[in-house]
Chain A
Amino acid sequence: MREPLRITILRHAVLLAFVAISIYPVLNVVSISLRPGDRLRSTDLAIIPADWTLASYAALFTEQPFLRWLGNSLAVSAAVTVTGVALASTAGYAFSRFRFIGRRATMLAILTTQMFPATMLLLPLYVLIARLGLVDTWLGLMIFYTATALPFCVWQMKGFYDTIPASLEEAARIDGCTRGQAFWYVVLPLATPGLVITALFSFMTAWSEYIVAAQVMQREEMFTLPLGIKGFQASLSSQWGLYAAASILVSLPVVAVFLSLSRFLVNGLTVGSVKE
């Protein structure tokens, strides 16, 4: 059935309005990053100003320790991602497949940690990390992030494994696999979309986090990108050009990661394996 023209127009108008709302701030930041000096406000409506310059971008690399912060952020985020995927994929499997004493209680306990806002956990976790002597280290921040990202990831992976029929593993075991090999050769490849979501979530948790990093990291050379960028925003004179340029650069890796992984986020990978 064809829908009436005015409905089509209305639908697209609503969609376009929301696209504009979400894309305007991004374009605005792009625009600011290309302006010379620290011109935050401008009457010019052009996205690329007439007198555009890449000076702010250049300054990030020449005058500011941007690369150092980028390295810190990449190191911490990569470590959180790898740890998160490794732990969540195995823990989720255990919760999905095995029946053991305390299974329900442990799963509920994991869920409960998600009920507290991260800021509430800030103090106890900080004390923990301070006692361990991990303040101002990559490891300290990594533990913090992994601890906050892991509960969601474990549940996510458990839910994913639940959709993979147990008979596939049984077939693999009869085909000569150990439990571990069945997990590695059969279950894990089928759980790829779940692993991708877990990886993205872990990465994002670490990459864009500010409050925790502000507590754990204290020396400027240990700053992650969000911390470093915040430094451009001083109380008297903010370096808006640098701020905007850095913001754009920070979001590029995330966009790249999303685009490269999006093809794995196809569901229904198990279609055709079994007939229920």
Chain B
Amino acid sequence: MATVSIRGLHKRYPGGFHAVRGISLDIADGEFLVLVGPSGCGKSTSLRMVAGLEEVSEGEIRIGDRLVNDIAPGDRDIAMVFQNYALYPHLSVRDNMAFGLRMRNTPRAEIERRVSAAAAALSIESLLARRPRELSGGQRQRVALGRAIVREPAVFLFDEPLSNLDAKLRVQMRAELALLHRRLGTTVIYVTHDQVEAMTLGDRIVLMNHGVIQQIDAPLAIYRRPANRFVAAFIGSPTMNFFHGTIRDGGFVAAGGAARVPLDGVAATVPSGDAVLGIRPEDFVVGGGDEDAAAFATAEVTVAEQMGHETLAHVSIGGATSIVRVPGNRGVAPGDRLPLGVRAGAMHLFAADDEGRRLA
């Protein structure tokens, strides 16, 4: 087990593409850290630099107290699970799992012991004699996990390990991964583009965009206080609603006056002028203002998606579309006019510029 420390990491490709632009972060021993972001944000490249599969253009990577920039992948004491599993097709499941140990000249009895233990832990004992092509997607993923586990590495690296599984299997494997991490307690760096995986698995989430870290924090902290508009839009499903408007007279006015809300307690710290107000779908209160919520606007329902336990109402507020989460199976139909309020303390104010930094 080990800490991982990354300092001023850059990746520039020969073509001039600057994939990773100076990221720094410290991963605690035993932590489950998730790197998340849209495709091309540099998360996989960063992981591959930690693995030693990509050269570091600039910066330092330390595993434990050892600088590993120029150490071969096999000598970094890491194991990696690939998105496409990358099982050796010409070897049986048993040999796939034993390969890394054989390369390290581990004694035969020890290999046998570790492979058996890992196979038991993953319930793949009956598959040991098979070749990868005889396995289903979920089984292959287990074997790939097994190959990583038997190595007993200091750090596990996961590169979108669940994205090739179907939705049902993904949920199941997600839970198993969480369980596995709790049992082994090994440091994990996990790359995904799926915010649900990030929220459910990570001790902390690192959200990246364009090769830059946008925010590092615990999942709920990121959810509750996104550092900028990009983070706010990325985390949460359905995504946060944004209203471009103006702060004046201690309130926020948007959609040509169709929506307005007082900014009690916030107005003092935020200067007047253009701003963007973010409200999560579940933070709307249907019925307008009361003691817990401030009146916001009257919205017309355009589409009502019945989910059973809730209804996602697509509404139009002064011409702009938003999504409102209505709990229960209360009847909401297209054409309805809903008076909307906003839950107290659930408003996110962002700067109106491209960066969209959080104001309050």
Contacts and interface: CB of A to CB of B under 8 A. Distances in A.
A186 B132 CA distance: 14
Nearest to B164: A275
B167 interface: no
B89 A171 contact: no
Contacts of A94: none
Given A171-B88, A175-B103, A271 B73 contact: no
A168 B144 CA distance: 12
Interface residues of A, number: 26
Contacts of B100: 174-176
A171 B104 CA distance: 14
Contacts of B133: 271-273
Contacts of A275: 84-85, 137, 140, 164
Interface stretch (B17-25, B75-83, B245-253): B75-83
Interface in A172-208: 172-178, 181, 185-186, 189-190
Given A270-B89, A271-B133, A273-B87, A167 B103 contact: no
B86 A273 contact: yes
Interface string B128-157: 000111110100100000010001000000
Contact of B78 (A174, A269, A270): A174
A14 to B, nearest CB: 37
B168 interface: no
Interface of B: 14, 51-53, 72-75, 78-80, 82, 84-90, 99-100, 103-104, 131-135, 137, 140, 147, 151, 164
Interface of A: 99, 165, 167-168, 170-178, 181, 185-186, 189-190, 269-276
Given A190-B90, A275-B84, 6 more contacts: A170-B73, A273-B86, A273-B88, A273-B89, A274-B82, A275-B137
20 contacts: A168-B86, A170-B51, A172-B99, A173-B52, A173-B72, A174-B74, A175-B100, A175-B103, A175-B151, A176-B100, A176-B103, A178-B72, A190-B90, A271-B89, A272-B87, A272-B89, A272-B133, A274-B84, A274-B86, A275-B164
